[in-house]
Amino acid sequence: MALNINDYGVPSVKPLPVFLLLDGSGSMSQNQKIDTLNKAVSEMLGKLAEDTVQYENSYLVTVIIFSGDQAEVVMQALPAGEANCKWRDIPTRGRTPLGSALTLTKKMLEDRDIIPSKSYRPTLILVSDGIPTDDWQQPLESLVTEGRSAKCDRMAVLIGKENADASSQVLKLFIGDMPHKVEKAETAGQLLDFFQRATMTVTTRTHSVNPNQIVPMTAAGAGIDGDDIMFF
């Protein structure tokens, strides 16, 4: 039998999906919160793109903005390099429809045409500065307890101090039994630091022997540029 070289192709790299659920509500326009968030996301996408090139890892980036009356998918399962090139700063408007964002996230995670079965365990990162303004309890319960989405790694950061106790409880429910805590960003530097550590946590998994194993987020850094801007 003749040898067909096409039968021996190089195996494709398994992707690690990363979902960013970002609060774009009106309150995020205060005290440079949205400016700092946009900078943090841009830096994260740049680092993931660099890691893809340098180490031949693969990430599928989805960005969901929740603001106004409902959430919106602005990037859906894009390779990190493409996501980095297409990223544009998000604006702010209206309310905080977190439930809508969780519903969209759940729908995409369960769709194998969007998130392939060969993918590593996805990472979900939730960023918010306030209390949800829509029905969020049932979508959250479904996300963290049912189907493929229940197996995701989940991180969260609370921006500012307004309604901090109530908002923190929502984010704790989102994290659930993951080996992380609700991070708090009361300054620009703390938010940038959170995203740097979240990025490191994601890339650490792809560099490990078992990328499906969840690793705790590294401890807070020593502070970075922008930590003088308060989010109160």
Q: What is the tens place of the pLDDT at every residue in 143-179?
A: 999 999 999 999 999 999 877 888 899 999 999 999 9
Burial of 138-166, coded b for 16+ CB within 10 Å and e otherwise, reads: ebbebbbeeebbeebbbbbbbbbeeebee
**Which pLDDT score is estimated for 180?**
95
Query: Quick one: CATH architecture of 14-207?
Result: 3-Layer(aba) Sandwich (3.40)
**Which pLDDT score is estimated for 129?**
95
Q: Which percentage of the chain shows pLDDT scores above 70?
A: 91
Does the pTM of the predicted model rise above 0.75?
Answer: yes
- Bridge-based pairing of strands 70-79 and 59-67 is antiparallel
Average pLDDT (99-105) is 98
**Which pLDDT score is estimated for 166?**
85
For residues 45 and 51, give the distance between their C-alpha atoms in angstroms, rounded to a whole number: 10
Task: Output the average pLDDT for the chain.
Answer: 91
**Which pLDDT score is estimated for 230?**
82
Q: Which has the higher per-residue pLDDT, 35 or 167?
A: 35
Give yes or no for a contact between 195 and 44, defined as CB atoms under 8 angstroms apart.
yes
* DSSP notation for the chain: ----GGGGPPPPPPPEEEEEEEE--GGGGGGGHHHHHHHHHHHHHHHHHHHHHHH---EEEEEEEEETTEEEEEEEEEEHHHHHHH-------S---HHHHHHHHHHHHT-TTTS-TTPPPPEEEEEESS---S--HHHHHHHHHSTGGGGSEEEEEEESSTTHHHHHHHHHHHHTTSS---EEESBHHHHHHHHHHHHHHHHHHHHSS-TTS--PPPPP-S--TTTTSB--
**Which pLDDT score is estimated for 100?**
98
pLDDT at residue 2 tops 60: no
Residue 224 banded pLDDT, cuts 50, 70, 90:
low
pLDDT at residue 10 tops 50: no
pLDDT at residue 227 tops 90: no
**Which pLDDT score is estimated for 231?**
74
Q: Which percentage of the chain shows pLDDT scores above 90?
A: 84
**Which pLDDT score is estimated for 161?**
82
For 173-214, the pLDDT digits (tens) are 999 999 999 999 999 999 999 999 999 999 999 999 999 999
